[in-house]
Amino acid sequence: MAWSPLAGGRLFDPKIEAASRLATVAASLSAKYGQATLEQLAYAWILAHPSRPLPVIGTNKIERIESAAKAATLTLDRHDWYALWVAAHGHAIP
């Protein structure tokens, strides 16, 4: 189980360097994945992880639940999965 997959909202905080990098990469991938949001790409990233964790969303707002459910329809290719990983960590994969 992946608890707090959106880092308690920190994923959207432009003052956090990793969040800014992720927002930039997500914006470049959005059109490729049907106008997917950063939130949806984050959930899709988790779902594509080889260990197959399930994200535990912490909301009871219907629009956020519907948005999260759309992530299950996204299939990130490996290049994009790693692009998000690199953006989150701020360095290339060794």
pLDDT given for residue 8 in this prediction: 86
Whole-number Å distance between alpha carbons of 66 and 77: 23
Which domain does 65 fall in, by range? 2-89
Q: Which residues contact 3 (CB under 8 A, 6 or more apart)?
A: 56
Ramachandran quadrant class, 41 (left: phi over 0; alpha: psi -120 to 50; beta: rest): alpha
Look at residue 94 and tell me if it is in a domain.
no
Q: How far is CA 71 from CA 38, 40, 51, 88, in A?
A: 10, 5, 17, 18
pLDDT given for residue 35 in this prediction: 97
pLDDT given for residue 72 in this prediction: 94
- The total domain count for the chain is 1
pLDDT given for residue 83 in this prediction: 97
Look at residue 22 and tell me if it is in a domain.
yes
Look at residue 83 and tell me if it is in a domain.
yes
Look at residue 50 and tell me if it is in a domain.
yes
- Print pLDDT tens along the chain (94 aa): 998 888 888 999 999 999 999 999 999 999 999 999 999 999 999 999 999 999 999 889 999 999 999 999 999 999 999 999 999 999 998 7
